[in-house]
């Protein structure tokens, strides 16, 4: 009965079961874990190319730098108070909307920041990543920002804690007060040799609104979050929604897994 | 035969797990203000070769209370659960209670020259480009703004008399005197540091009366049912309305209004 045809079927079956087991969070055997993509240079880390309708309208795409904005405003201002999506080109920004005070236009109105006027087009619509290296270095030096190891190579959290930058927490509520939710917890790693990750709500809440993460990215009960594995974080899920391209990148293992030895 | 069955099962595991892989751990798309609260109703439309109904809550809530449809007319709170048929509508139930040619347009009308004009596509608009009488942005232009959902502050709009809500339909609703709304209630929160919810019966009863929430969603005795925020996010309790039609659960401080020190 066990001819080569049957054996072939069993092998195919085993292969499928193995693939199935891997994709439903079985043992992580994903080689990608160790093959992180090379990071852009510090002044380009967090840059986003936005091209909703720019090029169609004969204008260069916008290259948005997170670093110059996050020094002045927290993430919640743009991603909560203003309707900026977390993905490039997910927000439906238009020139008309900007000129009527929405999106970029909420600040870029000629008062808070330079306006959306003709002489300023090229400040944002730079097309290719503009050469911001010198302005980035000047900015980092003038504010004496603490050094980080990855990403922008700036320790933004420490910079905010030390008062070297004072990113505005709200542009809509003059007497905005943070909710004092400061629960900290430990997330044990799926691999036995990896030390647990330490999570601080307080550190995140200095920048974010609860709904930036809850309930879409993380359930509000620890056990309610399914598939929370490093391999998914690498795919921009969970922590990876911010910590692969804007917040310090996951190359910085120790920033989250402080007792890790490597 | 059995092995083939196993193969199929294994294949299904792979396919299902891949499908699931796309949805977890990511931020969901925020619906456009004009889409927020839209419900696709497709009970029998496909069977009778018609397009699904795309029901806009924003247009209806600007004219009627929630209570009128979800209590007096018996519309369920979940799309497709009511089981509306064309016959029901033509007999004055559900949509047909208003869409009768008097209160609102009916399925068809006869023009002065005797031609029959069909209005099917005005509701059965799924997948079609339909030009409506009321376009969202024109409609909401003069209404007070809010930051989420339809980006309309419906409560304020009602308070300022910018929308007038009908709460009574002849032959369907019961003519009754109004009740004094119970006092505001503070709902303490277990999570450390989260401000309490100050719940206003008054704000809710304008739209929902008592019977839309009690006793099915909320028992009337305090502490009878224990629920948490995840239940609400999952569409139960406050989440029966807040998250799909009433303002979404995006800004904690809209409900957790206790002063933060």
Interchain pair B193, A10: CB under 8 A: no
pLDDT of residue A222: 79
pLDDT at B49: 79
**CA–CA separation, A60 and A124 (whole Å):** 9
Q: Who has greater pLDDT, A54 or B16?
A: A54
pLDDT at B18 over 70: no
| DSSP 8-state secondary structure symbol assigned to residue A176 | -
Q: Which among B18, B194, B230 has the least Cβ separation from residue A224?
A: B230
Does residue B15 surpass a pLDDT of 50?
Answer: no
Our CA angle for A93, A94, A99, nearest 5°, is 110
How many residues are present in chain A? 262
Test A183 with B228 for CB contact under 8 angstroms. no
Q: Spell out the per-residue pLDDT of chain A, length 262, in tens.
A: 455 667 767 666 666 555 544 444 444 444 445 678 899 999 999 999 999 888 888 899 999 999 999 999 999 999 999 999 999 888 888 888 899 888 999 999 999 999 999 999 999 999 876 678 999 999 999 999 999 999 999 999 999 999 999 999 999 999 999 998 888 999 999 888 899 999 999 999 999 999 999 999 999 987 889 999 998 999 999 999 999 999 999 999 999 999 987 6
Min Cα distance B225 → chain A (Å) is 19
Q: Which pLDDT score, from 0 to 100, does residue A10 have?
A: 67
| Mean pLDDT of the B150-174 span | 96
B36: which chain A residues are within 8 Å (Cβ-Cβ)?
Answer: none
Chain A residues touching residue B7 (CB < 8 angstroms) = 9, 12-13, 16
DSSP letter for each residue of chain B: -HHHHHHHHHHHHHHHHHHHHTTTTSPPPPPPTTTTTEEEE-SSTTTTT-PPEEEEHHHHHTTB-HHIIIIIS---SSTT-S---HHHHHTT-GGGGT-SSSSS--SEEE-TTSPEEE-HHHH--TTS----SS-HHHHHTTSPB-SSTTSB-HHHHHHTTSS--B---TTTS---PPPPPPPPEEE--SSTTPPPEEE-HHHHHHHHTTTTTTTTTS-SSTTSS---HHHHHTTSGGGGTBTTTBSPTT-GGGT--SPP-
CB-based contact, A2 to chain B, within 8 Å: no
Look at A179 and B7 and tell me if their CB atoms are within 8 Å: no
Q: Which residues in chain A (118-157) have CB-CB distances under 8 A to chain B?
A: none
Could you tell me the CA-to-CA distances from B27 to A91, A108, B184 in Å, in that order? 13, 26, 34
Cβ contact A183–B193 (<8 Å): yes
Task: Please report which confidence band the pLDDT of residue B122 belongs to, taking 50, 70 and 90 as the band edges.
Answer: very high
Predicted confidence at residue A3, as pLDDT, reads: 58
Q: What is the pLDDT of residue A100?
A: 87
Per-residue tokens: A215: 């309930």
Q: Is A211 in contact with B32 (Cβ distance < 8 A)?
A: no
Q: Look at B49 and A26; give whichever has higher pLDDT.
A: B49
Residues of B with Cβ-Cβ distance to A212 under 8 angstroms? 27
Quick one: pLDDT at residue A24?
Answer: 47
Q: What is the pLDDT of residue A26?
A: 41
Of A156, A155, A138, nearest to A73 by C-alpha is: A156
A227 vs B10, B24, B195: nearest CB: B24
List of chain B residues whose C-beta atoms are within 8 Å of the C-beta of residue A232: 24-25
Most B CBs within 10 A among A11, A181, A201, A205, hence the mutation to make, goes to: A181
pLDDT beyond 90 at B99: yes
Among partner residues B6, B29, B249, which is closest to A13 by beta-carbon distance? Answer: B6
CA-to-CA distance for B63 and A186, rounded, in angstroms?
50
User: What does the pLDDT average to over B103-126?
Assistant: 92
Q: Two tokens at B43?
A: 């009970």
- Among B23, B16, B17, smallest CA distance to A22 is for B17
- What value of ipTM does the predicted structure carry? 0.80
Which chain A residue shows the shortest CA-CA distance from B15? A20
Q: Sort A138 into a burial class: Cβ within 10 Å, 0-12 / 13-18 / 19+.
A: exposed
CA–CA separation, A202 and A108 (whole Å): 30
* Segment B188-227, tens digit of pLDDT: 888 878 899 999 999 999 999 999 999 999 999 888 899 9
């Amino acid at each position: 009965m066990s001819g080569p045809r049957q054996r072939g079927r069993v092998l195919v079956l085993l292969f499928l079961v193995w693939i199935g087991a891997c994709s439903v969070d079985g043992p992580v055997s994903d080689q990608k874990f160790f093959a992180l993509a090379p990071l852009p240079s510090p002044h380009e880390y967090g840059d986003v190319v936005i091209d909703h309708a720019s090029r169609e309208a004969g204008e260069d795409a916008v290259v948005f730098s997170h670093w110059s904005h996050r020094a002045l405003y927290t993430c919640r201002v743009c991603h909560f108070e203003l309707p900026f999506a977390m993905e490039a080109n997910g927000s439906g920004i238009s020139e008309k909307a900007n000129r009527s005070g929405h999106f970029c236009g909420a600040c870029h109105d000629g008062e808070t920041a330079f306006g959306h006027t003709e002489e300023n087009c090229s400040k944002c619509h730079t097309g290719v990543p503009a050469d911001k290296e010198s302005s980035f270095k000047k900015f980092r030096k003038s504010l004496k920002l603490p050094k980080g190891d990855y990403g922008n190579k700036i320790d933004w959290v420490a910079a905010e804690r030390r008062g070297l930058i004072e990113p505005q927490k709200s542009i809509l509520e003059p007497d905005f007060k943070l909710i004092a939710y400061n629960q900290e917890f430990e997330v044990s790693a799926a691999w036995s040799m990896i030390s647990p990750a330490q999570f601080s709500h307080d550190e995140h809440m200095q920048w974010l609104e609860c709904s930036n993460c809850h309930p879409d990215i993380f359930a509000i009960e620890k056990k309610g979050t399914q598939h929370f594995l490093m391999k998914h974080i690498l795919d921009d899920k969970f922590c990876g929604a911010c910590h692969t391209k804007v917040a310090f990148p996951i190359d910085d293992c120790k920033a989250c897994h402080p007792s890790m030895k490597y | 035969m059995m092995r083939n069955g196993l193969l199929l099962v294994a294949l299904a595991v792979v396919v299902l797990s891949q499908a699931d892989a796309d949805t977890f751990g990511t931020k969901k798309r925020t619906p456009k203000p004009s889409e927020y609260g839209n419900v696709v109703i497709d009970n029998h439309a496909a069977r009778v070769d018609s397009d699904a109904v795309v029901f806009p809550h924003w247009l209806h809530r600007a004219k009627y209370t929630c209570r009128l449809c979800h209590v007096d007319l018996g519309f369920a709170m979940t799309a497709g659960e009511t089981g509306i048929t064309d016959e029901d509508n033509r007999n004055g139930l559900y949509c047909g209670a208003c869409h009768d040619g008097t209160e609102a347009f009916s399925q068809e009308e006869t023009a002065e020259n005797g031609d029959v004009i069909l209005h099917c596509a005005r509701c059965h608009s799924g997948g079609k480009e339909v030009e409506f009488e009321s376009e969202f942005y024109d409609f909401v232009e003069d209404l007070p703004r809010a930051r989420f959902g339809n980006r309309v502050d419906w409560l304020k709009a009602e308070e300022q008399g910018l929308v007038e809500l009908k709460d009574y339909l002849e032959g369907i609703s019961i003519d009754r005197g109004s009740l004094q709304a119970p006092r505001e209630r503070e709902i303490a929160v277990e999570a450390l540091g989260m401000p309490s919810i100050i719940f206003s019966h008054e704000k809710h009863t304008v739209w929902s009366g008592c019977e839309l929430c009690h006793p099915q969603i909320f028992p009337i005795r305090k502490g009878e049912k224990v629920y948490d925020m995840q239940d609400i996010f999952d569409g139960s309790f406050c989440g029966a309305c807040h998250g799909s039609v009433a303002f979404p659960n995006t800004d904690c401080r809209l409900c957790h209004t206790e002063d933060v020190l």
